[in-house]
Amino acid sequence: MKKENKNDNNYTVVLLCEYLSTKENNFNNEIVYFKIIDNNFKTKVKPLNSSKFAVPLWKADKDIILKMKLKHVNSMFQNMVKGEMYDVLVEFKYYEFQPEGKDLIKGYYATTDKIIEHKPCMKLESEGESGD
């Protein structure tokens, strides 16, 4: 079995996400789930859009879900609230994995060093709308 990371193939992007949950999977890994809200998502992750690679994204109904292992969430901000919006700096890290007697698996896993609570820009009232 061989596992290899190639740093030159890593890809970093900021995505607007809704925090869904953190759950344990069948392999005793804590997995963090986000729903991607970002309107420019397809453009931002276009370099990863290939059927040749496994990626930590999948389509569920109308939503795109991002998952990452909790051990790869290295942000100081980890007290996320279900349903709240966050700007997540996602680094998709390339890997190759060669299981014994099977084809080479190429893909990306997600990590983050920065999660920021999303604060939409506030519109300022013009002087004529103040009601004074």
User: How many other C-beta atoms are found inside a 10 Å radius of the C-beta of residue 78?
Assistant: 11
Residue scoring higher pLDDT (92 or 52) = 92
Give the mean pLDDT of 24-53: 90
Domain hosting residue 80, numbered range: 2-119
Among candidates 119, 122, 127, 33, which has minimal Cα distance to 80?
A: 33
Domain CATH code at residue 31? 2.40.50
The answer to whether residue 66 is domain-embedded is yes
The answer to whether residue 113 is domain-embedded is yes
The answer to whether residue 86 is domain-embedded is yes
pLDDT tens, position by position, 103-121 = 999 999 999 999 998 987 7
Provide the domain count of the chain: 1
The answer to whether residue 125 is domain-embedded is no
pLDDT of residue 1: 43
Asked whether residue 13 carries a pLDDT value surpassing 90, the answer given is yes
Strands 63-69, 11-24: pairing is: unpaired
pLDDT tens, position by position, 42-84 = 899 888 877 788 899 999 989 999 999 999 998 766 688 999 9
The answer to whether residue 132 is domain-embedded is no
Distance CA 6, CA 74 (A): 20
Give Cα 62 distance to the centre of its chain.
17
Distance CA 116, CA 125 (A): 26
The answer to whether residue 44 is domain-embedded is yes
The answer to whether residue 21 is domain-embedded is yes
Q: Cβ(91)–Cβ(109) under 8 Å?
A: no
